[in-house]
Structure 1
Amino acid sequence: MAPKKRATRAPRGSLSREKVLAAALELAAAGLDAVSMRALGTALGVDPTAVYRYFRTKDELLTAMADAVVASDRPFPETGDPVQDLEEAFVNLRRSLLEHPALVPVVARRPPAGEATQEGTVRVIGILTDFGLDAATAAAAFQALLFYTLGHAVLEAPYAQMDANATELERQEVREDLNRGHPKRAAVRDATAQLYRDMDRQFEYGLNLMLVGLGMRPPPRPA
């Protein structure tokens, strides 16, 4: 009988907060249930208790993971146009969230208060106040833009974890069901046929409408 192989252990001192966080984000690709201190210990080749040196609880770990998702690897936009910077910041936030769909509910439930989130918040509110909005309006506008982005990501997250063909099939069924409800209204039938086609474009369309409402973008010209 062959002897059992011992699990490979990481060299002493090789663990770090960044490595634990990266491993946790990889595990989260299979869902939040896959993230545990025991699973992290196995993935990192350490005793699970070693993880507690960096994160005292799973709740603390999830908060750090949420902030890492918000931070992503995309720096705050610097286009030379503050309004464009603001718009791209929220476009990037949505993209980062959908790259980690299992964590979207965590971010939406309690927007993280880590360094990356704080920096982004200050930068966006700074753009809003520099544009001329008073403090109360800038705060309300920031929250409206943030909640719009989070809400969009919450609705999209389940589909981000599905096969693209399965997603399109489900959306096509929705379009067909809506069309059956209004067979005599050609305008409604034509409009419902365009629903859920391009979610990137849909998100940016709604974001632009909000910026128009804030007076930061000119209204679209009549067709």
Structure 2
Amino acid sequence: METTPPRHTRTPRGTLSRGLLLDTAMEIVDIGGVGGFSMRALGARLSIDPTAVYRHFRTKNELLEALADRVVRGDEPLPHTDDPRADLRETFAQLRRSLLRHPTLAPIVLRRPPGGEASWERTNHAIGLLRDAGMPDRDAANAFATLLFYTLGHALTEARHTAATIASKGLEVPVTPATAVSSAASRYPHLAAVADHFDEPMETQFHDGLGLILAALAI
């Protein structure tokens, strides 16, 4: 069911811009999820005729794609040091942090292929780090895909919990760790042996897994 946010003071004529529209759309999506977003809701939030939005974005999907690209960009500069491994770890950690700041948009980022400037910039940066580490081009491409899919999948798992909480309660709460695995040690001895580790914080699990991937890539 679509939720229309409270009306704000009318936006002064001539001040409407892509940036303002994206800022406001992000507020709506962060609170009500993608399902609660529409051009009508955006117009109501800014006290403008919804048709004015189409002067800047041809469709709702185009606007959502721009929002997804903004999430990929994040708030932090891409890391540039002399340590490719540290920079790779940080650039994918940045992506995870940005996705979790906007959990309702994480599925949009996952479903839509990269097409915005921020997506291309982050992709180019990461592949450059892999090539600088001595990887042949084919291996660099495959390694990037592995790191990207790992990060997106992990963040989406965390974001689903947070997004569901926002949708049901209207506020954000910390992501809880995975439910502890409980099984009979006699039937599943290997699972029982590692069960406690599944209860570690998700952030710890993410960084440990990322470290294993980078170690396997010999970076």
Say whether the 8 Å CA contact 1:63–1:112 is kept in structure 2. Answer: no
- Equivalent in the alignment of 1:196: 199
Equivalent in 155, 158, 165 of residue 157 of structure 2 = 155
Q: d(CA) in 1 for partners of 2:77 and 2:23?
A: 18
Shift of residue 74, structure 1, vs aligned partner? 0.9
Residues 77 and 10 of structure 1: is their aligned pair in 2 closer, same or farther, counting only changes over 3 Å? same
- Equivalent in the alignment of 2:41: 39
Say whether the 8 Å CA contact 2:68–2:105 is kept in structure 1. Answer: yes
Three-state SS of the structure 1 residue aligned to 2:129 is helix
Q: d(CA) in 2 for partners of 1:68 and 1:165?
A: 23
Cα-to-partner distance string for 1:188-218 (whole Å, 9 max, x where unaligned): 54631331321111101111111111111xx
Give the unaligned 5+ runs of structure 1. 1-5, 217-223
Cα-to-partner distance string for 1:136-190 (whole Å, 9 max, x where unaligned): 111111111001101111211122233658946xx4xx42xx3243378787546
Cα-to-partner distance string for 1:90-128 (whole Å, 9 max, x where unaligned): 001001001111111111112331111111111111111
Query: Aligned-pair RMSD on alpha carbons?
Result: 2.3
Residue-pair matches, total: 205
Q: d(CA) in 2 for partners of 1:202 and 1:165?
A: 15
Task: Summarize the alignment of residues 176-215 of structure 1 with structure 2, pairs less than 5 Å apart.
Answer: 178-182=181-185, 188-189=191-192, 191-215=194-218
Say whether the 8 Å CA contact 2:66–2:116 is kept in structure 1. Answer: yes
Say whether the 8 Å CA contact 2:76–2:94 is kept in structure 1. Answer: yes
TM-score by length of 1: 0.84
Give the unaligned 5+ runs of structure 2. 1-6, 166-171
Say whether the 8 Å CA contact 2:9–2:46 is kept in structure 1. Answer: no
- Equivalent in the alignment of 1:13: 14
Give the residue type in structure 2 aligned to 1:147. F
Say whether the 8 Å CA contact 1:70–1:117 is kept in structure 2. Answer: yes
Greater Cα shift, 72-81 or 142-151 = 72-81
Residues 47 and 93 of structure 1: is their aligned pair in 2 closer, same or farther, counting only changes over 3 Å? same
Residues 65 and 185 of structure 1: is their aligned pair in 2 closer, same or farther, counting only changes over 3 Å? closer
Q: Percent of pairs identical after alignment?
A: 48
The structure whose Rg is larger is 1
Say whether the 8 Å CA contact 1:17–1:54 is kept in structure 2. Answer: yes
- Equivalent in the alignment of 1:108: 110
Cα-to-partner distance string for 1:63-95 (whole Å, 9 max, x where unaligned): 100000011111101344222111100001001
- Equivalent in the alignment of 1:62: 64
Greater Cα shift, 66-75 or 192-201 = 192-201
Q: d(CA) in 2 for partners of 1:79 and 1:7?
A: 44
Say whether the 8 Å CA contact 2:72–2:98 is kept in structure 1. Answer: yes
Aligned: 1:26 with 2:51:
no
